[in-house]
Chain A
Amino acid sequence: MEFVKNKAGRMVPTYIEGIGELKPFNGIFDAEVAGRRHGAINSKVVPTDQKLLGSIREAIEKTGLKDGMTVSFHHHLRNGDYVLMMVMDEIANMGIKDITICSSSLTNAHEGLIEHIKSGVVTGLHTSGLRGNIAKEITTNCILPKPVIFRTHGGRARAIESGEVKIDVAFIAASCCDEMGNMNGKLGKSAFGAMGYPMVDAQYADKVVAITDNLVPYPAYPISIPQYLVDYVVVVEEIGDPSLISAGATRVTQNPLELLIAEYASEVLIQSGLVKEGFSFQAGSGGASLAVAKFLRDYMKENNIVGSFASGGATSYLVELLEEGLFRTLLDTQTFDAKAATSFMRNENHVEMSASMYANPHNKGCVANKLDIMILSATEVDVHYNVNVMTASTGVIMGAQGGHPDTAAGAKLTVVVAPLMRKRIPIVVDEVTTVVTPGETVDVVVTERGIAVNPKNAELLQTLKKTNLPVMTIEELKNLAENFTGKPEKVTFGDKIVGIIEYRDGTVMDVIRNVVK
């Protein structure tokens, strides 16, 4: 296999059997766009046609799903999803094999896939992330015949719209749907909020199957995905487990360490001068990330600042900020908790957006481009400010790209918040195990013991040095961590590539190799 060094300093392959030619990452906005958007096959539905089918099996038969095809799912039902496994189990029962799954991500609810991978039903995986036993099986036992393709939220939308990934059948779970296929995720016993990911699938897949546990009289409203994109509708008992789809309302952490990190981070944001009337903001859904929102809220209230929008990944905490009038709008591609999901119906300023609008780098402008401030977490950060959210320092896959690289590239100020060490593992290292977000898009790293500013932000660095914040170089931060933990040994990997980290523009940022026992 031929390898070249990409612009992030990683050796990446130029061709992989079963996947094709690969381009190395060459700068965050370097990739050229050419050609036209992919188009799904044409269809015709007359007034007497019946979309409502009796079973998932019937839907699979009618879509003409065959060996070697690509199916897609979304993960808005998170750990409570029943749909992906129901469909894949049926596909396996019908003797169909060699299927590629293009899912927005995979969760603990999808461990059953291990069986289907081992039996050859599933031979390809495209996802934002992997966790738990599937991740372990893939990284240690190499059960998949070709590498997993890991994409960002924006990158997945790009790949689907450009035709790089051609979805044959999209299976879309909806908590509210009518007999013609108008659907949403905002109403129903299994409500989950925005349908940001499948909004893209529905437009570009050849066949679209809606799967719902809540068939409502025609026409369903609101309409997140319209009927004219949908081929069939299947009603099942339950699309998921509501208690696992989303937990209760998101609370800001009480952990004093996380609060300290958040306090430092909000100080950095305020000093940057970006927290002013009309600014925009996005943060992660828990821990120190979300706590930053709390400190910012206090500051905004004290100074009568109203932001233009908050985006995400919407949590009920962001909804509270919206309801308090601290932001004019909440742009939501994925809703994290039940309370936030109900906000859509109450508040017209809580706006659903597709993953393409959110983060696709190859359309006519995505929301991430308008972000002022982005708060990210990390499993590792290195001295070049590259960020890893994908693998643990031991090499096991346990995370997802999500919208990290998308928002980091778009935002004016990208701040990573993380504890300096997790248990004995230093977060700041010489070289991250896997590069997910390149250092050129990361501006500040904030830990409870020190803050490092990417040298390209000379002005911000000078401003922060004048404060009482513990500013230091990233090398000093790394040494501080190693003073506690000791310097970790380098992990040796096998020579099988089990995963490709695809940057949002389709180029290869890094690869994941198998872990040797």
Chain B
Amino acid sequence: MKKLRRTMLFCPASEPKMFYNTPVYHPDCIIFDLEDAVAYAEKDSARDLLCEAVKTLDFKDIEIFVRINPLYTAFGETDVREIVKAGVRNIRLPMCETAEDVKKLEALLTEVEKENNIDVGAVKVQCAIETPKGVLNALAIATASPRVVSISFGAEDYTRILGVDRTKTAKELAYARSYIVLAASVANVDAIDTVWSDVSDIEGFKAEVQEAKIMGFSGKSCVHPAQVKEVHKIFTPSQEEVEKSLRIIEAAKEAEEKGIGVITVDGKMVDVPVIQKAERIISLAKAAKVLK
């Protein structure tokens, strides 16, 4: 079953206390940010803090991502070298526009892994797609490397480049979000929805998360602990959904054991995508602890 990434909580790598306080909110993933959240003058100190934190603190089952600086900056390559050495195994690559961007990172990662006796391919990548060009290349990006485990959409830069404003109904993002979900599905990676920065507007946030779930996103980027709880609630399956999924999985198992090809549950045909969806629902239910 695929790793759950319902929530990816952003956390600036610039303050020591963020490293040990952020995990108490139990997001599925934390993205420690070396990029936008850190001033130029402190890029080095943030990197050092991050490396020491990763070496010392136990994040238990929270998946740790690091948003590095783009590889075309002075900091990007050093970020990759230092953090992988320190133990980071998931990198968020900002501003992915082409498959080339991913391959550049891949090459660097392979080199660093070999230098440090780490299994080649161990470090995974999340591609942040934040521009119109990136959106149109989403499929190429998502399939550029086996290291890619998820693509995420960033609306701020996207709307800025398009020259439009962000609205509450998010019409201006509709195509981009749909396309990202599609590309992710074909590439069999996670699709993560963009950040909602108005922390005080919880109702607006909840509405957008509902949308994201309906559209097929695997999860949402968060900027505040209060958001994490809401996302988990919305992604928690209903009793009905859980029961139905259990029946589907049961039936599939039975069918496999008996060597039956086609199965139906509740009068509907059950094929591989249906079984996978059922598995995801059970996984969500377990994560929400409504099922043991």
Contacts and interface: CB of A to CB of B under 8 A. Distances in A.
A43 interface: no
Contacts of B289: 468
A408 B58 CA distance: 35
B26 to A, nearest CB: 10
A483 B58 contact: yes
A43 B187 CA distance: 94
Given A448-B24, A449-B24, A468-B289, A256 B58 contact: no
A257 B226 CA distance: 10
B224 interface: yes
- Number of chain A interface residues as a range: under 10
A228 interface: no
Contacts of B121: none
A260 interface: yes
Contacts of B58: 483
Nearest to A449: B24
Interface in A112-137: none
Given A468-B289, A483-B58, A257 B20 contact: no
Contacts of B224: 256
Interface in B39-98: 57-58
A256 B20 contact: no
A484 interface: yes
Nearest to B289: A468
A448 B226 CA distance: 14
A484 B20 contact: yes
Given A468-B289, A483-B58, A260 B20 contact: no
B21 interface: yes
Contacts of B57: 484
A242 to B, nearest CB: 31
Interface in B195-244: 224-226
Nearest to A450: B24
Contacts of B20: 484
Contacts of A483: 58
Interface in A223-271: 256-257, 259-260
Contacts of A257: 21, 24
Interface string A463-507: 000001000000000000001100000000000000000000000
A257 B22 CA distance: 9
Nearest to B228: A256
Nearest to A480: B58
Nearest to A257: B21
A474 B236 CA distance: 31
A449 B225 CA distance: 15
Interface string A439-454: 0000000001100000
A484 B24 CA distance: 13
B55 to A, nearest CB: 14
Nearest to A468: B289
Contacts of A468: 289
B126 to A, nearest CB: 25
Contacts of B225: 256, 260
A449 B24 CA distance: 6
A418 to B, nearest CB: 14
B287 to A, nearest CB: 11
A484 B21 CA distance: 11
Among A256, A257, A448, A449, residue most surrounded by chain B Cβ atoms (within 10 Å): A256
Among A259, A260, A448, A468, residue most surrounded by chain B Cβ atoms (within 10 Å): A260
Nearest to A483: B58
A449 B22 CA distance: 11
Contacts of B25: 256, 260
A259 B227 CA distance: 13
A256 B202 CA distance: 14
B88 to A, nearest CB: 20
Interface in B140-177: none
Nearest to B17: A423
A256 B226 CA distance: 7
A483 B60 CA distance: 13
Interface string A128-167: 0000000000000000000000000000000000000000
Nearest to A484: B20
Interface in B10-47: 20-21, 24-25
Nearest to B200: A254
A448 B289 CA distance: 18
Contacts of A256: 25, 224-226
Nearest to B225: A256
Contacts of B24: 257, 260, 448-449
Nearest to A421: B20
A449 B26 CA distance: 10
A484 B226 CA distance: 24
A260 B224 CA distance: 13
A365 B224 CA distance: 47
Given A449-B24, A483-B58, 14 more contacts: A256-B25, A256-B224, A256-B225, A256-B226, A257-B21, A257-B24, A259-B226, A260-B24, A260-B25, A260-B225, A448-B24, A468-B289, A484-B20, A484-B57
6 contacts: A256-B225, A257-B24, A259-B226, A449-B24, A484-B20, A484-B57
Interface of A: 256-257, 259-260, 448-449, 468, 483-484
Interface of B: 20-21, 24-25, 57-58, 224-226, 289
Top 10 A-B pairs, shortest CB-CB distance:
A256-B225, A468-B289, A448-B24, A449-B24, A484-B20, A256-B226, A260-B24, A257-B21, A260-B25, A257-B24
